[in-house]
Amino acid sequence: MFIEPIECSRCGRKSRPGDAGFQASYGDPNAQIICECGNEFDIPEPRDQFILSTNPFSRFTAASNHFEFGTVEIIPGQAMDVTFGRRFDYPCKVYLTPEGTGLHLREAFLQSDRMLILSAVPSGCPVPTTPVRVHWAVYGLIDLNLLPNWYVQFFAAMTQIETGLYKAALFDYATAFEVFLENRLDVHLTARYGAQLSEYLMKRIWRIEDRCKDLMELAIGRRFTERDDVYQPWDRDVREPRNRLAHGERFEVTREMAEAAHSAVYQGIRWIKSVAP
C-alpha cells in the first residue's frame, strides 16, 4: 500500500490534514477536513494521514498516545504552574494560545508531571491589568515499556525535527526503520524456520539493503524493492544520506531532508506491515 494524500472532491486539492489549504480536526476514529474551497468532509481511519502531515500539531495529535489540555488565567508578566492529571513518560510538545491578546507565552521546566508557563507583553505595548485566559495542550507518550521500540525511535525523530536537530532526526528515522524491519523479519523467519535458524540468518545477513531484498523474500516471499513508490524514497532519502553521514561525510541536513525521511520511513513501515502483519 502507498498512502496517497487526501483529495477534495470539490476542487481537486490534494494534501495532508493541517497542511496548506486543509484545516483539520482529529478524532478517533474519524477526522474532519475543511478545504479552503469551503468543502467539509470526513476521512475514516485518518491516523496515517495525520502522521504524514507536515503540520506538527496534526502530527503530534495522532502520534501521541497521551495528551492533556486545560485553561488557566495568567496576569501578564507572571508565571503559572500547571500540574498534569497523569504523569507522562515523555512530554514532548506544548501548545499555548492566549485569548484576544498578543501576549508572549513560553513553557519552562517541562517535566513528566508539570510545567511552568511564562508570560510577557511585547515591548511598547500596554500591560493588561486583568488576567488573560490561556489555553494549553501537552502531547507525548505514556507506557513507554509497552510501545514497540521502533515507534519510540520514530517519535523521537519527530521531536528532533521540531527542535531543529535535523541530522539527529535523520539518524533516528533510519534506526526506527531498521528496528522495525528486524522485528518483522525475526517474527516471520521464526514462524517459518524456527528460532535457531532465524537467529542465524539475522546474524548472517545484517546489511539493511540485503535484509530488504533477499532476507525479506525468504521470510515472507516479498521484496521491499518490488514497490518502487515506497522503496525508492526510502533508499534515496533515508538509507543513502544515513550511510554518507555514518561514513564521515559532512553535509547539511535540512528540515526538508528530515521531512522526506519522515514520510519515506512511515510509508515503508506501513507497506511492510500490510504484506507482513
Do both 248 and 158 map to the same domain? Answer: yes
**In a shared domain, residues 128 and 190:** no
Cell of 131: 488576567
Residue 117 lies in a domain: yes
Percentages (nearest 5) of helix, strand, coil residues in the chain: 45, 25, 30
Instruction: Among 146, 167, 182, identify where a domain stops.
Output: 146
Q: At what angle do helices 255-275 and 149-162 cross, to 10 degrees?
A: 160
Residues 139 and 192 in one domain: no
For residue 39, is it within any domain? Answer: yes
Clarify whether residues 88 and 26 are in a common domain.
no
Q: Looking at 37-117, list the stretches that DSSP marks H as alpha helix, in order from N- to C-terminal side.
A: 47-51, 56-63
In a domain, 246, yes or no: yes
Q: Which of these three, 17, 42, 63, is where a domain ends?
A: 63
Q: Report the candidate in 265, 271, 215 with the shortest Cα–Cα distance to residue 242.
A: 265
Same domain, 58 and 89: no
1 occurs within a structural domain: no
One domain for residues 82 and 132: yes
Cα dihedral across residues 230, 232, 237, 238: positive or negative: positive
Domain count, the chain: 3
Are 249 and 157 within 8 A, CB to CB? no
- Supply the pTM of this predicted model: 0.93
157: phi then psi, degrees, rounded to nearest 5: -65, -40
Question: Is 197 in contact with 189 (CB distance < 8 Å)?
Answer: yes
Burial-class residue 20 by CB neighbours within 10 Å (0-12, 13-18, 19+).
Answer: exposed
Residues 159 and 42 in one domain: no
Find the domain containing 41 and state its range.
6-63
- 247 and 169 fall within a common domain: yes
Instruction: Indicate whether 206 belongs to any domain.
Output: yes
Which residues, at least 6 apart from 31, have a Cβ–Cβ distance to it below 8 Å? 17, 24, 25, 42, 43, 46, 49, 50
At residue 62, the 3 state secondary structure works out as: helix
Give the CA-trace dihedral at 23, 135, 91, 242, to 10 degrees.
Answer: 30
Q: Is there a domain that residue 190 lies in?
A: yes
Q: What is the CATH number of the domain that holds 100?
A: 2.60.40.2080
Q: Are residues 193 and 101 in the same domain?
A: no
Is residue 70 in a domain?
yes
Question: Does residue 115 sit in the same domain as residue 207?
Answer: no
Quote the CA–CA distance of 147 and 38 in Å, as a whole number.
39
Per-residue pLDDT of the chain (277 residues; tens, 9 = 90+): 799 999 999 999 999 999 989 999 998 788 999 999 999 999 988 999 999 999 999 999 999 999 999 999 998 888 999 999 999 999 999 999 999 777 899 999 999 999 999 998 888 777 777 899 999 999 999 999 999 999 999 999 999 999 999 999 999 999 999 999 999 999 999 999 999 999 999 999 999 999 999 999 999 999 999 999 999 999 999 999 999 999 999 999 999 999 999 999 999 999 999 999 9
Specify whether 43 is located in the same domain as 105. no
